[in-house]
Amino acid sequence: MVAGRGELLVVDVEATCWEGSTPPGQMSEIIEIGLCLFDVRTGTLSGKRAILVRPQRSKVSVFCTQLTTLTQEQVDGGIRFDEACAILEDEYDARNRLWASWGAYDRTMFQSQCQSFEVRYPFGERHLNTKQLFADLRGHRPVGMQRALQMTDLSLEGTHHRGHDDAWNIGRLLAYMRHHYGPDILPGT
């Protein structure tokens, strides 16, 4: 499914995490890549998808399951990180399109994990930090996605801290910003 022109890719990742410090010998790594497509021309969303990624250097903690609802058994059925990156490149043309996330965490996680696993970074240089865009447009400090939804009177759709649902909600916030501040606020695709 190579996305059409005029669409940007909205991405949200979930990663292994712990309530306290990272256990010895483990590292935080991506276990879900949530995505959807946002049509810049129309402000519509499509193609909501979750890609589960099998962790190689960590285990899903009880805390992580409580936060994300993802279990070790679920992610054990996922694909390797390099396979997930190939899907982003092959099916979503991620290297040649603008992609968006809520803040810089997702970009940083991809950069770090690609370097650590010696996997080609699946995205190009064009990244839209929607958290900062929202803050700039509203004239306040950056806030979390759930708080931004509350501030715009949008209800949370799905489960917070599930990648595909969070990507969808980020797309809904992009649609809100496009509607209220005009399509020119979004960089061209």
In angstroms, the CA 26 to CA 104 distance is 22
* Residues 6+ away with beta carbon under 8 Å from 152: 173, 176
172 CB neighbour count, 10 Å cutoff: 23
User: What's the token pair of residue 95?
Assistant: 């290297």
Sheet with strand 99-101: strands edge to edge: 45-52, 30-39, 7-15, 99-101, 127-129
**pLDDT (tens digit per residue) in 65-115:** 999 999 999 999 999 999 999 999 999 999 999 999 999 999 999 999 999
Where are the domains positioned within the chain? 7-184
| pLDDT greater than 80 at residue 187 | no
**pLDDT (tens digit per residue) in 150-180:** 999 999 999 999 999 999 999 999 999 999 9
* Burial letters 4-28, b for 16+ CB under 10 A, else e: eeebbbbbbbbbbbbeeeeeeeeeb
pLDDT score recorded for residue 116: 97
Cβ 167 vs Cβ 145: under 8 Å: no
**0.75 surpassed by pTM:** yes
7-184: CATH number: 3.30.420.10
pLDDT band at 5 (very low <50, low <70, confident <90, very high): low
In angstroms, the CA 149 to CA 100 distance is 17
